[in-house]
Amino acid sequence: MKKGILFVVSAPAGCGKGTILGQILKDKKFYYSVSATTRKPRPNDVDGVTYHFLDRTDFEKLIAEDAFLEHAQYCDNYYGTLKAPIEENLSQGKHVILEIEVQGAMKVRELRPDAKFIFIAPPSFEVLRQRLEHRGTETPEVIEKRVDAAKKELEMKVNYDYCIINDVLDDAIADFKSVVRAEELKIQP
Amino acid sequence: MKKGILFVVSAPAGCGKGTILGQILKDKKFYYSVSATTRKPRPNDVDGVTYHFLDRTDFEKLIAEDAFLEHAQYCDNYYGTLKAPIEENLSQGKHVILEIEVQGAMKVRELRPDAKFIFIAPPSFEVLRQRLEHRGTETPEVIEKRVDAAKKELEMKVNYDYCIINDVLDDAIADFKSVVRAEELKIQP
């Protein structure tokens, strides 16, 4: 069986990455890589769906066993990407979608140069600001911080293989599918 | 203006390359590279459309001026791809489609490593044979020669970037469009 392809996807907050991936993942040829974390589950969390919830001892044991493709600590909690489910799904011919921020993506690039890196960008920072304002969930200060963060993240775009600009959602979804299809049609050296 | 992309397309006879390209070229973002030749025009030929018809002296002068991306001789006639129209169209942001057999494609690869190489293949040699028989224009001997030639050409596939299998025509056209779109979305290093 032909192995699947690992797609690493990053986007600044507010770029519609979740909506795009939601549509893409309707196709069962994809497997969405679920992160592991030591963070306590919240009411809406489902173990194995939103995260793989692990306690600190288990997480550190897995780090020692080199079980993670990448891992990091935020706010005293570990977050990481387990290698095994990715490898299993790729072997079964499924494409794996790994959604990760830019720093994590660069770590993955070192270990998996065969992966394909997709950056999803807003059409402009002005549009990004408007979208974040439209959500109505963040304060103006947080919105400014996010726009500034997006500007920094966008500088990392050069390290990716593809950039999809999410202006019109349906076009962005079609673009994502084109990238996947083209990669499927690539001749393996 | 963003430069266009040079797509080099090869396929064994009977793979439906002409039909696929006919559909693709309806989009005015493409320019089809017309070959130059010293062959005498035939009744259906239109200068500048089927070929650029040149006399031997002019063709050889252009060879001396390094005006060709590639050229070759068949049956005492020269055939070649002029650089200038390709460069002009790429500069104007058009994608250039260069339809060429495998040997010519490999010459182009050396000079234009930035070009994208697409191989169009039949779903099987049996289907290819059926298609050639269905045309009803060739003798059984010629059909066998063409199938044998296709087998040899298919070995060259490994030197291409993408392989599109023309099983269902609409799928093959969609695949071609996906490859073009993905290349448009590629981040330039």
Find the residue in A nearest to B157 (Cα). A187
* Residues of chain A with C-beta less than 8 angstroms from the C-beta of B174: 181
Q: Which of A152-156, B99-103, B127-131, B183-187 has the highest mean pLDDT?
A: B183-187
Concatenated DSSP letters of B45-72: --BTTTBEE--HHHHHHHHHTT-EEEEE
For residues B174 and B42, give the distance between their C-alpha atoms in angstroms, rounded to a whole number. Answer: 34
Mean pLDDT of chain B: 93
Cβ within 8 Å, pair B178-A178: yes
A179 touching B (Cβ < 8 Å): yes
A2 touching B (Cβ < 8 Å): no
For residues A97 and A90, give the distance between their C-alpha atoms in angstroms, rounded to a whole number. Answer: 10
Name the residue among B160, B178, B185 with its Cβ closest to that of A164: B185
Residue B137 banded pLDDT, cuts 50, 70, 90: confident
B119 touching A (Cβ < 8 Å): yes
CB atoms inside a 10 Å sphere around CB B185: 19
* pLDDT digit string, tens, across residues A123-150: 999 998 998 888 878 888 988 998 999 9
For residues B128 and A147, give the distance between their C-alpha atoms in angstroms, rounded to a whole number. Answer: 55
- Residues A9-32 have a mean pLDDT of 93
Dig out the tokens for B119 from the structure: 């191989």
CB atoms inside a 10 Å sphere around CB B134: 9
* pLDDT digit string, tens, across residues B1-49: 899 999 999 998 888 899 999 999 999 999 999 999 999 999 888 998 8
Give the per-residue pLDDT at A1: 80
Dig out the tokens for A149 from the structure: 């963060």
* Residues of chain B with C-beta less than 8 angstroms from the C-beta of A157: 187
* Residue A25 region by backbone torsions, left for phi larger than 0, else alpha for psi between -120 and 50, else beta: alpha
Residue among A177, A16, A35 at smallest CA distance from A98: A35
Cβ within 8 Å, pair A177-B178: yes
Tokens 């459309």 correspond to: B49
Give the per-residue pLDDT at B131: 87
Is-contact B81 B108, C-beta < 8 A? yes
| More confidently predicted of B180 and B131 | B180
A111 touching B (Cβ < 8 Å): no
B162 touching A (Cβ < 8 Å): yes
Assess whether pLDDT exceeds 80 at residue B189. Answer: no
Find the residue in B nearest to A174 (Cα). B178
User: CA dihedral defined by B90, B92, B95, B100, rounded to 10 degrees?
Assistant: -50
Q: Report which residue type is found at B181.
A: R
Is-contact A1 A87, C-beta < 8 A? no
Find the residue in A nearest to B121 (Cα). A185
For residues B107 and B115, give the distance between their C-alpha atoms in angstroms, rounded to a whole number. Answer: 12
Distances in Å between the alpha carbon of A8 and those of A27, A84, A86, A103?
A: 17, 16, 12, 12
What was the ipTM of the complex prediction?
0.90
- Residues A63-91 have a mean pLDDT of 95
Alpha-helix residue ranges (DSSP H) falling in chain B: 17-24, 56-64, 83-91, 102-111, 125-135, 140-154, 169-185
For residues B97 and B94, give the distance between their C-alpha atoms in angstroms, rounded to a whole number. Answer: 10
A149 touching B (Cβ < 8 Å): no
Cβ within 8 Å, pair B178-A185: yes
Percent of chain B with pLDDT over 70: 99
For residues B54 and B45, give the distance between their C-alpha atoms in angstroms, rounded to a whole number. Answer: 13
Coil, strand or helix at A72:
strand
Give the per-residue pLDDT at A80: 96
A153 touching B (Cβ < 8 Å): no
For residues A38 and B82, give the distance between their C-alpha atoms in angstroms, rounded to a whole number. Answer: 63
Residue among A180, A125, A19, A18 at smallest CA distance from B185: A180
Give the per-residue pLDDT at A98: 97
Percent of chain A with pLDDT over 90: 77
Give the per-residue pLDDT at B14: 83
Find the residue in A nearest to B166 (Cα). A185
> Of A62-66, A72-76, B171-175, where does mean pLDDT reach its minimum?
A72-76
Assess whether pLDDT exceeds 90 at residue B135. Answer: no
* pLDDT digit string, tens, across residues B52-109: 999 999 999 999 999 999 999 988 999 999 999 999 999 999 999 999 999 999 999 9
For the entire predicted model, the pTM comes to 0.92
Side-chain-side CA neighbours of B171 within 13 Å: the count stands at: 10
A109 touching B (Cβ < 8 Å): no
Residue among A69, A71, A48 at smallest CA distance from A59: A71
- Residues B113-132 have a mean pLDDT of 93
Q: What are phi and psi of B98, to 5 degrees?
A: -115, 110
Cβ within 8 Å, pair A158-B186: no
B101 touching A (Cβ < 8 Å): no
CB–CB contacts below 8 A, A to B:
54
B1: closest CA of chain A, how far (Å): 18
Mean pLDDT of chain A: 93
A170 touching B (Cβ < 8 Å): no
